[in-house]
Amino acid sequence: MTQDKTSQDRVVIFDTTLRDGEQSPGATMTHAEKLEIASLLDDMGVDIIEAGFPIASEGDFNAVSEIAKNADNAVICGLARAQIGDIDRCWEAVKGAKRPRIHTFIGTSPLHRAIPNLTMDEMAERIEQTVTHARNLCDNVQWSPMDATRTELDYLYRVVEIAIKSGATTINIPDTVGYTAPRESADLIAKLIENVPGADTITFATHCHNDLGMATANSLAAVEAGARQIECTINGLGERAGNTALEEVVMALKVRNDIMPFQTGIDSTKIMNISRRVAAVSGFPVQFNKAIVGKNAFAHESGIHQDGMLKNAETFEIMRPEDVGLSETNLVMGKHSGRAALRDKLEQLGFEVGDNQLKDVFVRFKALADRKKEIFDDDLIALMRTSSDPEDERLKIEKLAVRCGTEGPQVADLVMTIDGERHMTTQTGDGPVDATFNAVKALFPHDARLQLYQVHAVTEGTDAQATVSVRMEEAGRIVTGQSADTDTVVASAKAYVHALNRLLVRREKSGTDKAEISYKDVS
């Protein structure tokens, strides 16, 4: 029998997309993008937003500080190493929030203790000093023993007890390298609750990585054992194989409330919109078969499945598309649609657009409608993803013509403005995209290395838009660019230039680049 929901325990959702998620190579977001994602997280009901690592850079500090000041409901958390300077900087960044939190950590496993070359006693002393210092600044302190799942159990008991006695209000147990399994994850939380003095006075959290594909299962197992906070990211974004996916744990608890009688405060109808937005700003597209938010999550091609769906949707769907904010209608827009219809459709898809942005999107919508007979939801989403950013306009493609065929080499004629001045060139290459990229590089020489080039068809048909993602690296700075067009080569050129524009911004702000501090694999 299902437990009455009014009496169910609340599971706190702690989102670290802007901190742990952004550490994924190439996923760096701009200041404006961080603020936008934080606002969406706050609006959907995330309890705690880990906004960044303030000591890492001036840029991170400013982003955390502004997110803290603007948050309406969520607790705003900053991360700090077990160092007094880190903690002070973190507090300066989050103290403007209505509900601030300091999250401090240290690696407690034998492998991690060897990095600062601390003995067990020396590490225990540092934990006491730093957690006490954090609690003297803020009454909401979270502490994490990094790589907890590979830490000796007796030592883990000891340091968790020290952190609790020093004032930590939340103890997070990170599976930093995705090493544990569900039974072990549950067992560890249960043992900590049973054996650590003071464990009944604080909240236990779980933070799982997905290296073995078990992050969601491990998080849910920890909750069943007594953890009441799940640390996760949108789309499971994160280093290596990523983190626990917010949408997966939220919908698992909602759909299987009969066997996991816990509640969250998440408005699940907002999941799809924020998933799309995070994919766009991070440059990490969602795989088609990704649970909950993948393009195929509610698609049915098998004849047996289609027949069952027509008779009763519950035959092959355990949740409704609208439960996660997926629009039921698709093909409704065309070249005769007006601004009001476009605004209404964008709102259905989860986008709130101001008058100026609507004007820009409408112009590009009309241009697309002249080339495409049918405008699908995904076409509109692609338009929103490629809305122009004024700071990214130092380089701009004016005209591109490509000559290609079975007889090489291929030729690209490019006209591009650089800081307002027109330049043109003709270059060859091994294919039309290579020729185009060579032309851009001829007009704007650079040493950035192309790390990733991806093309995705937005919809079906030969007139489908292509969404192109480009990732580039220069001197440790990693940037992504995206663009969409019915011409794949044009989309490629615009994405390449978009990435270069972002690189120029990063060059100008190199003094606040994340390369200032190494903090990979924290928590």
Ligand-binding site membership of 243 (annotated): yes
Task: Pinpoint the alpha helices (H) of 100-152.
Answer: 110-113, 120-137
Bridge partners for 410 per DSSP: 429
CA-CA distance, 247 to 235, in Å (whole number)? 7
Cis peptide bond upstream of 54, omega within 30? no
Ligand-binding site membership of 15 (annotated): no
Cα-Cα end-to-end distance for the chain: 37
Angle of helix 153-165 versus helix 120-137 axis, rounded to 10:
30
Backbone angles phi, psi at 248, to 5 degrees: -75, -45
Ligand-binding site membership of 207 (annotated): yes
CA-CA distance, 172 to 142, in Å (whole number)? 7
Task: Pinpoint the alpha helices (H) of 138-270.
Answer: 153-165, 182-195, 215-224, 246-255
Q: Taking a C-beta distance cutoff of 8 angstroms, is the pair 15, 266 a contact?
A: no
CA angle 355, 362, 330 (to 5 degrees): 110
Torsion angle of the four alpha carbons 247, 252, 254, 258, in this order, in degrees rounded to the nearest 10 = -170
Ligand-binding site membership of 20 (annotated): yes
Ramachandran quadrant class, 495 (left: phi over 0; alpha: psi -120 to 50; beta: rest) = alpha
Q: Taking a C-beta distance cutoff of 8 angstroms, is the pair 259, 43 a contact?
A: no
CA-CA distance, 282 to 23, in Å (whole number)? 10
CA-CA distance, 31 to 506, in Å (whole number)? 11
DSSP 384-412: HHT---GGG-SEEEEEEEEE-SSSS-EEE
Q: Which contiguous run of DSSP H or E holds residue 303?
A: helix 303-311
Residue 483: both structure tokens together: 């663009």
Identity of the residue numbered 47: D
Which residue in this structure is represented by tokens 């006209």? Answer: 415
Report the relative pairing of strands 410-418 and 421-429 from DSSP bridges: antiparallel
- Number of residues that this document lists for the chain: 523
Q: Which contiguous run of DSSP H or E holds residue 500?
A: helix 488-508
Residue 123: both structure tokens together: 């590490």
Residue 160: both structure tokens together: 């968790």
CA-CA distance, 161 to 156, in Å (whole number)? 8
Identity of the residue numbered 198: G
Angle of helix 377-385 versus helix 271-282 axis, rounded to 10:
50
Residue set of the binding site: 20, 207, 209, 243
Binding positions for Mn(2+) are 20, 207, 209, 243
